[in-house]
Amino acid sequence: MKNFADLTEREVLAVAISSEEEDSRIYMNFAEDLKERYPDSAKIFEQMAEEERGHRHMLLEMYEQRFGPHLPPIRREDVKGFLRRRPVWLTKNLSLDTIRKEVETMELQAERFYVKAAEQAQDVGVRRLLGDLAEAEKGHEEVAAKLTDRILSSDVRAEEDRTNRRMFVLQYVQPGLAGLMDGSVSTLAPLFAAAFATHQNWQTFLVGLAASIGAGISMGFAEALSDDGSLTGRGSPWLRGLTCGLMTTLGGLGHTLPYLVPDSWANAFWIATGIAGIVVFFELWAIAFIRARYMDTPFLQAVFQIVLGGAIVLAVGILIGAA
Q: pLDDT tens digits, residue range 228-275?
A: 766 666 667 888 899 999 999 999 999 999 999 998 899 999 999 999
Amino acid (one-letter) located at 253: L
pLDDT (average), residues 307-316: 88
Nearest to 86 by CA among 38, 26, 162, 41: 26
Compute how many other C-beta atoms are within 10 angstroms of the C-beta atom of residue 200.
15
3-state secondary structure of 215: helix
Quote the DSSP letter at residue 235: -
Higher pLDDT, 275 or 124: 275
C-alpha–C-alpha distance, residues 142 and 159, integer Å: 19
Give the residues across from 79 on adjacent strands.
2
Compute how many other C-beta atoms are within 10 angstroms of the C-beta atom of residue 159.
8
Higher pLDDT, 148 or 44: 44
- pLDDT value at residue 133: 87
For residue 282, give Cα distances in angstroms to 43, 211, 251, 254, 315: 46, 20, 11, 10, 17
C-alpha–C-alpha distance, residues 255 and 93, integer Å: 40
Which pTM was predicted?
Answer: 0.54
Lowest mean pLDDT segment, chosen from 85-94, 256-265, 287-296: 85-94
C-alpha–C-alpha distance, residues 83 and 102, integer Å: 11
